[in-house]
Every structure is written in structure tokens, then in C-alpha cells.
Amino acid sequence: MRAITTPGTVLLLAAVLSNVSAARAAIPQKKEYLSEAEADKIRDAGMTGPRIVLYAKFAGDRIKKLQYEFAHMDPGDQKRTDRVNSLINSYAGCIDDAADLLDIGIEKQEDIREGVKALQAQIKEALPYLQDLAAKGPERETYKDNLDDAIEATQDAAKDVEKASKEMAPPPVRRKRLRQETAHVRLSDILRDAPVPVIEAAAAILLAQMYRRRLPAELRDLYRQFALAHSTRRHIARIRRKRARRIAHNPRGASHDLEPMFAALNLEYFDGSLRCPRLGWSARPWRSQFGCFDPSLDQIVMNNRLDREDVPSYAVELILYHEMLHVKHPLRAAACGLQAHSTEFRAEEKRFKQYERARKFLEHVR
């Protein structure tokens, strides 16, 4: 680790390098409780950490709407009970999915700190309100069962957050220590050989955040250029290959075999030119995504929730095809960081012959 000592200043590095994580997320499940706009945000977020943040935000939105419902009760409103139960179920779904993503983020060794922080804050705010609603909310019997489920989901998520806080990968800069007005900051080994100007830019980012000042554009661009550089991404990929978890090449599931499926899709959509990475199924069901391509480990992992007889092959093929497109279209720099789903990627994805049919089926997978 590389240390920086700055007198009289407490530094905390912005997690810029989290955008450089080599892991990529696949098509997230379109949940019935999400609006189209929310589903698109989840889909486009790409990395696990930002998705957790979004789910926590969406959960908070449901709580606010629930509070509004109880603050504006109309005895003649016949649909209020349905809306209340729908909001409670929707909240629980967001919390469950955010909690599930914690495990995925840890497994892929992504930086999910912002997600953990957002989920923890949402739980701290929502749980007392829900418990108070259970104790003395109006017309409790009309939503009691769903409310009990939501409280249980929130309590389980709190345990998952506590566990994730202990297990998640170290950040690019570890917690500062202030001793005699001197801040000691430990940097990730990703920055071990970074040029001095990059380290200085990192310090400027910290100072700008601490004192809430605008960061000079030239320093922001310098750090961003380093974070998105091919050499940095290759370095992170090398580290992931050493430290991250590889699956066994085991494409044959209980109901679906990925190897012949990959070969058929390769011929039909890629003229047989796409190389085949390691293929396999997840060790446990994932709730929040159907698959993942990790270029550093050169593997496609499919959610074993899809490995069932009642899941048609065309649905599995769409997810596998999506991951194959990630093999073809590497991450590239964009205005907001690294872009996983470019315009070309989206257009090519819709070439899948049963795209709409598969998407509609996947929306209802449990």
C-alpha cells in the first residue's frame, strides 16, 4: 500500500476507480413493482454498487408515497387499500433486491460501499416507521400481512448490510487516521505506481469533497484519464485474475446446456467468430440479475434460477446472447465513466429473433 500524509487535512478518496471494475452485470430482471423508467435506470446502471443505490432510493420513494397515503386518507377512496398494499410490497421488493446485490457485489469483489451506505441509511429511516405503522397504523388489518413481510425483509437486509460491511473488498483508499493533526491515508495497490500528479489530483478530489469546493477541471480530467486508461484497466484485470473467484467450466445444467446454446447463437448472430469463454451456472439463485460476463476472469455465469424445465430455451438464449454481446463489445470510456451498453450494443441486442417474447417471459420469472 502507498501512504500519503497531509498535515491538518482529513482525506477520503472518491471511489472513482469503482467505475473501472471489470465485472459487468447482465440484464436485470424487470420487476413488476418498478416503473419502466426505474427499470431502465437499473438496467443501465451496469455495476452492482450503483444498482444497490438505486434500489435503496426506490424503496425510499415507496415509503414517502406510503406516508402520503396515510396523511391524506379519504374514507370514500375505494382503491386506497390496494395502493397501500402495492406500495408495501413494492418497498419490500426493492429492499430484497438491494440485499441480494450485496452478495453479488462481494462475490465479484466490486466496490459496493456507496450501495451499502445508501441501503443502510434507508433501513435506518424505514424500519422505525414500518414498526410504528404495525403498532398503531390506521386500518392495520387491511395490510398487516404485507407489512409484516416488509418489516422482516428490512430486518434481514440490515443483517446482510452488517455482514457485507465486514466482507466487502477494500476501497481504493482506506479509512483515514488523524494523529496530531496529520491525516494518514492508505491507498490501494492499484495506485502503487501512479504518477505523482495523479496522487496530487486524488488529494485535490478529497479536499474538494471535504470543503465542498468545486474541483478544478484539469485535476478532475487528469484523475479520470488515469482511472479510465487502458493500462489501469489492464492492471485491475490482472489483480482480479489473481484474487477473484472463478467458476468451474460446467455449462450443462439440470435443464439447459449452455455449450450447444452458445455454439448455435455464435453461428446465427456472430458468424461463428466469437470466442467461447468459460461457461457455468451460479452456485445459488440470484434475484436481481440473470447473468454476468466477467472479462477479467473470462467467464459467463448464468443465474441458476433459469435452469428449470418451466423456463423456455429462448429465454435462456436471450440472456446468454446478451452476455455474448459483452464479449464482443468491451467496456469503453464515456462521459459518465465506463459504458457497458452502447447504442450499438442495444441495437444488436434487439436483433435476437424472440427478443420481445423472451423479455416478457423474463419479467415474470420468480
* Structural domain boundaries in the chain: 8-17+173-243, 31-167, 258-362
pLDDT given for residue 186 in this prediction: 67
Q: Tell me if 319 sits within 8 A of 133, measured CB to CB.
A: no
User: 170 falls in which pLDDT band (50, 70, 90)?
Assistant: low
Q: Which of the residue ranges 177-181, 202-206, 251-255, 281-285 would you say has the lowest mean pLDDT?
A: 177-181
Identify which of 29-43, 80-94, 103-117, 203-217 has the greatest average pLDDT.
Answer: 80-94
Output 191 or 9, whichever has higher pLDDT: 191
pLDDT tens, residue by residue, 25-56: 444 555 677 888 888 888 888 788 899 999 99
> Looking at residues 222-233, what average pLDDT do you find?
80
Q: Tell me if 54 sits within 8 A of 41, measured CB to CB.
A: yes
What is d(CA 26, CA 46) in angstroms, rounded to the nearest whole number? 8
Q: What one-letter code names the amino acid at 181?
A: E
Q: Note the helical H segments in the chain.
A: 36-45, 48-71, 80-107, 113-136, 144-167, 196-211, 217-228, 230-243, 258-270, 313-328, 343-349, 355-362
pLDDT at residue 24 is higher than 50: no
User: 3 falls in which pLDDT band (50, 70, 90)?
Assistant: very low
Mean of per-residue pLDDT scores for the chain: 81
> Residue 189 carries which DSSP code?
G
> Looking at residues 8-34, what average pLDDT do you find?
44
pLDDT at residue 176 is higher than 60: no
Q: Tell me if 3 sits within 8 A of 183, measured CB to CB.
A: no
Beta bridge partners of 24: 293
> Looking at residues 138-165, what average pLDDT do you find?
89
pLDDT at residue 19 is higher than 50: no
Would you say domain 258-362 falls under CATH 3.30.2010.10? yes
Residues 6+ apart with CB under 8 A from 124: none
Q: Which residue has the cell 484485470?
A: 237
Q: Is the pTM of this model over 0.85?
A: no
pLDDT tens, residue by residue, 240-266: 777 767 777 889 999 999 999 999 999
pLDDT given for residue 242 in this prediction: 73
What is d(CA 69, CA 73) in angstroms, rounded to the nearest whole number? 6
pLDDT given for residue 201 in this prediction: 87
Residues 6+ apart with CB under 8 A from 193: none
> Residue 1 carries which DSSP code?
-
130's grid cell: 414500518
Beta bridge partners of 301: 280, 292
User: 21 falls in which pLDDT band (50, 70, 90)?
Assistant: very low
Percent of the chain at pLDDT > 70 equals 81
Percent of the chain at pLDDT > 90 equals 38
What are the C-alpha distances in Å from 42 to residues 84, 96, 241, 312? 24, 14, 27, 24
pLDDT tens, residue by residue, 270-287: 999 999 999 999 888 877
pLDDT at residue 156 is higher than 70: yes
pLDDT given for residue 300 in this prediction: 94
SS3 342: coil
Q: Tell me if 183 sits within 8 A of 207, measured CB to CB.
A: no
Q: Which of the residue ranges 6-20, 85-99, 215-229 would you say has the lowest mean pLDDT?
A: 6-20
CA 70 to chain centre: 32
> Looking at residues 302-316, what average pLDDT do you find?
94
User: 2 falls in which pLDDT band (50, 70, 90)?
Assistant: very low
Q: Which of the residue ranges 147-156, 187-196, 206-215, 276-285 would you say has the lowest mean pLDDT?
A: 206-215
Q: Which residue has the cell 427478443?
A: 355
189's grid cell: 495497490
> Looking at residues 345-362, what average pLDDT do you find?
91
Output 333 or 106, whichever has higher pLDDT: 106
